[in-house]
């Protein structure tokens, strides 16, 4: 496009240079900004760190009037406004943390046309006084941040977001831009509908992170597997190791340190001073490893994180994507590595059952977990599965940079193995009042006369020893995959295995059960040669 000086195009670029000090727009920023400056509505899906803020900040600066930003992150508003003011942008906010005088001051600035940007908490828009205030000033653009909060099925649902549909009715001439980082195709449609943005242009940035290599290995001795992975592929590199519990964070950090890898723990149980010290060491030093719970990472912007490792299964693909996304922000090759096993499935299923929340909440949590498990068990391209989850069309030929592309896993017909497991579960279920988990099932199949097997006469069962064709690791893999596929379920605090509605058809031989073949010896780093 050839446009002369004074057009919107050069004005936005000039604003980018002058106010923010950046060289050039990134990705689709330019197109989005031009569209909104010209008065169009927009729906922007961009991963965290993609640069969403500029997409409404620059239109707010270029168009006459004040840009009104609706955001649920009240705790961040003060910081956001301070940062903008430091750049010379006239910004203010109205939320519940302010006293009366502070609010009056911001309101006066807005009415006098002295604000470029006004941040509002969504609940403010339920109040008539706020709507009156807005009608008495001049608004350049409405930005609705974290727009997925309007989705009733998302985990961040905010009822107040439903009221935002009125913005379009009351201010039909003011462009609206809705932004989010975590949207599946379904959420996407919900945002368009509930915010009444039928004419909005959609800007969907790619969720692909091509420089991140995705790998998920079968869990045997996770700390040793992690150590081998770090020594062979990431010696001296900075990275993050995620664990579920504070206890395992502590022990993993000690284990790595004892084995010559400098590692510090980070979790909510540490005092604020220690946490801050470990975080700032991670940001400052080269090659430090942080072992952390998911409490670590929000707002961490370190470009050269070379690996993110998971020793426990994340609860959802959204979580996995966000955590692994902290690797390789500089675009250089990085690894997302995870060790995953039977106990992860059992533990997560138990957590959902014993956790808080109503039935609908549980169902949602279970479906998030199912999607995560499907990613772990897939025999196809992991990146393809991730992108499809976020509604993007993956390359049907595979990505060439994930473990299943690099070393395609073998599959086998697991129908007979599945029937052996299910028949054992059926027999144990008949013993009323007794609860047996995966361990006991596997011991029975292998024909092991353990104390617990003898105690309950399980060596007398017809299924005792019928599974000697597979190893213990392979049986654990079979049970894990049956749990992941929903052919088997866990119940209660001991993780008792029980049948599901799907079990019958497998037992009767009416359907096949394809299984991913377990490696005889879990390989920590099989794909180095391909990299």
Residues that bind ligand ADP (CB under 6 A): 22, 25-26, 29, 46, 48-54
Indicate the residue among 31 and 109 with the shorter CB distance to ligand ADP: 31
Task: Name which of ligand ADP, Zn ion, none residue 120 binds, using a CB cut-off of 5 to 8 Å depending on partner kind.
Answer: none
Partners of 139 in the β-ladder: 66
Indicate the residue among 83 and 127 with the shorter CB distance to ligand ADP: 83
Kindly state the helix (H) or strand (E) to which residue 64 belongs, with its residue range. Answer: none
Token digits of residue 50: 């993609």
Smallest distance from Zn ion to CB 490, Å: 30
Distance CA 180, CA 45 (A): 5
Indicate the residue among 107 and 116 with the shorter CB distance to ligand ADP: 116
Residue the block writes with tokens 């002058």: 18
Smallest distance from ligand ADP to CB 181, Å: 6
Indicate the residue among 15 and 429 with the shorter CB distance to ligand ADP: 15
Task: Name which of ligand ADP, Zn ion, none residue 135 binds, using a CB cut-off of 5 to 8 Å depending on partner kind.
Answer: none
Pairing of strands 263-266, 488-491: unpaired
Smallest distance from ligand ADP to CB 47, Å: 7
Task: Name which of ligand ADP, Zn ion, none residue 303 binds, using a CB cut-off of 5 to 8 Å depending on partner kind.
Answer: none
Kindly state the helix (H) or strand (E) to which residue 488 belongs, with its residue range. Answer: strand 488-491
Task: Name which of Zn ion, ligand ADP, none residue 53 binds, using a CB cut-off of 5 to 8 Å depending on partner kind.
Answer: ligand ADP
Partners of 265 in the β-ladder: 291
Of 203, 134, 193, 122, residue with least CA distance to 164: 122
**Residue number with the shortest CB distance to ligand ADP?**
51
Task: Name which of Zn ion, ligand ADP, none residue 48 binds, using a CB cut-off of 5 to 8 Å depending on partner kind.
Answer: ligand ADP
Smallest distance from Zn ion to CB 391, Å: 18
Q: Is 43 helix (H, G, I), strand (E, B) or coil?
A: strand
Smallest distance from Zn ion to CB 399, Å: 3
Q: Is 97 helix (H, G, I), strand (E, B) or coil?
A: coil
Smallest distance from ligand ADP to CB 68, Å: 17
Task: Name which of ligand ADP, Zn ion, none residue 475 binds, using a CB cut-off of 5 to 8 Å depending on partner kind.
Answer: none
Indicate the residue among 69 and 261 with the shorter CB distance to ligand ADP: 69
Indicate the residue among 29 and 213 with the shorter CB distance to ligand ADP: 29
Smallest distance from Zn ion to CB 216, Å: 12
Smallest distance from ligand ADP to CB 54, Å: 5
Kindly state the helix (H) or strand (E) to which residue 258 belongs, with its residue range. Answer: helix 246-258
User: Residue 128: phi, psi to the nearest 5?
Assistant: -60, -35
Distance CA 516, CA 181 (A): 32
Partners of 217 in the β-ladder: 339
Indicate the residue among 252 and 335 with the shorter CB distance to Zn ion: 335
Distance CA 148, CA 195 (A): 10
Which residues touch 422 (CB under 8 Å, ≥6 apart)? Answer: 482, 487, 488, 499, 503, 506, 507
Please, what is the end-to-end C-alpha distance for the chain in angstroms? Answer: 40
Of 497, 477, 481, 495, residue with least CA distance to 426: 497
Distance CA 256, CA 234 (A): 13
Indicate the residue among 310 and 383 with the shorter CB distance to Zn ion: 383
Task: Name which of ligand ADP, Zn ion, none residue 22 binds, using a CB cut-off of 5 to 8 Å depending on partner kind.
Answer: ligand ADP
Task: Name which of Zn ion, ligand ADP, none residue 398 binds, using a CB cut-off of 5 to 8 Å depending on partner kind.
Answer: Zn ion
Task: Name which of Zn ion, ligand ADP, none residue 494 binds, using a CB cut-off of 5 to 8 Å depending on partner kind.
Answer: none
Q: Which residues bind Zn ion (CB under 5 A)?
A: 381, 383, 398-399, 402, 405
Contact 463, 423 (CB under 8 A): yes
User: Residue 316: phi, psi to the nearest 5?
Assistant: -155, 165
Kindly state the helix (H) or strand (E) to which residue 481 belongs, with its residue range. Answer: helix 472-485
Indicate the residue among 22 and 153 with the shorter CB distance to ligand ADP: 22
Q: Output the CA angle 260-265-77, nearest 5 degrees.
A: 140
Indicate the residue among 40 and 51 with the shorter CB distance to ligand ADP: 51
Smallest distance from ligand ADP to CB 183, Å: 13
Task: Name which of ligand ADP, Zn ion, none residue 383 binds, using a CB cut-off of 5 to 8 Å depending on partner kind.
Answer: Zn ion
Smallest distance from ligand ADP to CB 55, Å: 8
Contact 43, 200 (CB under 8 A): yes
């Amino acid at each position: 496009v050839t446009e002369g000086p004074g057009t919107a195009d050069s004005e936005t670029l000039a604003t980018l240079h002058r106010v923010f000090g950046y060289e050039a727009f990134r990705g689709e920023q330019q197109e989005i900004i031009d569209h909104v400056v010209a008065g169009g509505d927009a729906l922007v899906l961009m991963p965290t760190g993609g640069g969403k803020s500029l997409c409404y900040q620059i239109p707010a600066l270029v168009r006459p009037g004040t840009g009104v930003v609706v955001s649920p992150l009240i705790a961040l508003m003060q910081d956001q406004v301070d940062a903008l003011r430091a750049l010379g942008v006239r910004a203010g906010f109205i939320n519940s943390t302010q006293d009366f005088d502070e609010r009056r001051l911001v309101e006066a600035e807005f009415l006098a046309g002295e604000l470029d940007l006004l941040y509002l908490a969504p609940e403010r828009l339920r109040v008539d006084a706020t709507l009156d205030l807005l009608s008495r000033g001049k608004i350049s653009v409405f930005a609705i941040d974290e727009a997925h909060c309007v989705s009733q099925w998302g985990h961040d649902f905010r009822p107040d977001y439903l009221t935002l549909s009125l913005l379009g009715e009351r201010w039909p001439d003011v462009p609206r831009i809705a932004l989010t980082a975590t949207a599946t195709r379904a959420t996407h449609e919900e945002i368009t509908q509930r915010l009444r943005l039928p004419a909005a242009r959609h800007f969907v940035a790619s969720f692909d992170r091509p420089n991140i290599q995705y790998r998920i290995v079968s869990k045997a001795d996770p700390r040793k597997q992690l150590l081998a992975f770090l020594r062979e592929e990431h010696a001296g590199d900075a990275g993050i190791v995620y664990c579920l519990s504070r206890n395992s964070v502590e022990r993993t950090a000690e284990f790595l340190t004892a084995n010559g890898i400098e590692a510090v723990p980070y979790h909510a149980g540490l005092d604020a001073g220690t946490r801050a010290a470990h975080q700032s060491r991670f940001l400052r030093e080269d090659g430090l490893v942080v072992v952390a719970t998911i409490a670590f990472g929000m707002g961490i912007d370190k470009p050269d994180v070379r690996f993110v490792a998971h020793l426990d299964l994340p609860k959802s693909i959204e979580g996995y994507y966000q955590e692994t996304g902290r690797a390789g922000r500089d675009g250089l090759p990085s690894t997302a590595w995870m060790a995953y096993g039977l106990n992860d499935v059992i533990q997560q299923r138990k957590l959902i059952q014993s956790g808080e929340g109503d039935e609908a909440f549980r169902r949602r949590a279970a479906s998030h977990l199912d999607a995560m498990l499907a990613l772990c068990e897939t025999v196809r391209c992991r990146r393809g599965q991730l992108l499809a989850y976020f509604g993007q069309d993956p390359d049907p030929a595979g990505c060439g940079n994930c473990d299943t592309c690099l070393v395609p896993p073998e599959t086998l017909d697991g129908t007979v193995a599945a029937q052996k497991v299910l028949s054992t579960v059926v027999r144990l279920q008949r013993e009323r009042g007794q609860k047996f988990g995966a361990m006991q099932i596997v011991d029975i199949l292998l024909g092991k006369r353990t104390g617990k097997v003898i105690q309950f006469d399980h060596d007398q069962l017809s299924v005792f020893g019928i599974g000697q064709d597979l190893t213990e690791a392979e049986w654990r893999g079979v049970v894990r995959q049956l749990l992941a596929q929903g052919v088997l379920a866990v119940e209660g605090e001991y993780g008792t295995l029980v049948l599901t509605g799907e079990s019958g058809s497998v037992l009767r031989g009416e359907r096949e059960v394809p299984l991913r073949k377990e490696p005889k010896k879990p390989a920590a780093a099989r794909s180095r040669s391909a990299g």
